[in-house]
Structure 1
Amino acid sequence: MNTVIRLGEPDDKTLRQKTFRKQFADNLNAALDRRGAIPSGYGRVIGVAELFGVSQNTAANWLKGEGVPELFRLPEIAETLNTTIEQLVVGDRGTGAHVIDEHYTVIDVHGADDDESHALYTLPETLRELGLPNGIRMMQVFSDDMDPYVRSGDVVVYDPRINRIHASGVFILNIRDTLFVRRVQCGIRGDIRLICDNNRFDDELLSEADFDAGQPDDKRIDVVGCVMARILIGR
């Protein structure tokens, strides 16, 4: 059952947004206090601006609850402050919610082993503006085998509902219980080529049978999702 956190009166969107910004500011300041490297006061504004490469006005808005970071900045902020995105957004009221006050949705963010994940909360309209569907997930990459498309530390956004290969594209594949990003090229005779953009890694030529559900677990390749977007960290 999904948990729902109420952030204000259902009909008062302005109040909900104000509460959300204030909550983020409180959690950000608490994370900075735990880090202990940036004192409170105006020095904190300067420190946050320098730490995350934003203007002092933007940093002040984050710290005072008058603004929140863009979606792509949250993984970097969480990692730098040795916390999680969920802790920054909902604080000690951690939740596995897939809806926050029906105006916020959660995106699961995980690594290549998919056994540890955290949540990124955003507005549904943000997804629409980016041309992304609801239900997307994110995976952080820890390999350079797809460089320059993505590098270690970058994040790929994918749609888990696309779990079969019907056309060429970039996919998340489960190969022997490890997730990989691969460019998939479909041949006219049913052959499927898995391509690493980094030419230091070899491509792999497969057939449709390798993706068949009847294959043994140690040989079958599962399509986890189709990549819809990339978040390039630090570049």
Structure 2
Amino acid sequence: MEHARPLPDYLVRRYHGWKATGYEKNKGWYLQLAEDGQHPRAMVVSCCDSRVHVTSIFGADQGEFFIHRNIANLIPPAETGGNHHGTSAAVEYAVTALKVSHLIVLGHSSCGGVKGCYDMCSGNAPELESKDSYVGRWMDILRPGFEKLGEGDDESRVRQLERECVVISLENLMTFPHVKSAVEAGRLSLHGLWHDIGAGDLEAYDPASGAFRPV
């Protein structure tokens, strides 16, 4: 592949720094992880956003979380046909092969994907309406959430949509037969969270009230 290039120097330096310190101090733990395989108790579906650091939020170590990241932490509804279902495949593997006990959808503030969906549905992002826009077609999953938004200014409605994004993903999870059967059998629990990046706050979805509450 002629277009591949060497890593930037700063990343090479960081790697060697980690290998000499973090890895060396915990070498036995890494060897155990390599030999025993992974046995995470939870899967987290989070956004690709570089500001959302799942392991830091929960103080997690290697091997604790099976993490899948995509634009706007969306989970599509189950569907057959087609050949490329990265998020659906990750969910299937976590539930059927790793047998995680918890599946967490983690949304966040200032999500660019959600804002893009809001603009697209408001008629202000024609580039996302193009059939050739991967982001636009992915954000179509969230269109039903836009239709549910209440009154308010654009900022408050975008915040609503960020939380609605989590709820829609939870609803879509239950369209997967392996998820539905695991939940109904009590082997798997679903959790919806929203994280405020600036404030460091975390809210959890309460199905009884249909609202998000501080953790």
Q: Choose between structure 1 and 2: higher strand proportion.
A: 1
| Richer in helix (by share) | 2
Structure with larger RCO (C-alpha < 8 A, sep 6+)? 2
Whether TM exceeds 0.5 here: the answer is no
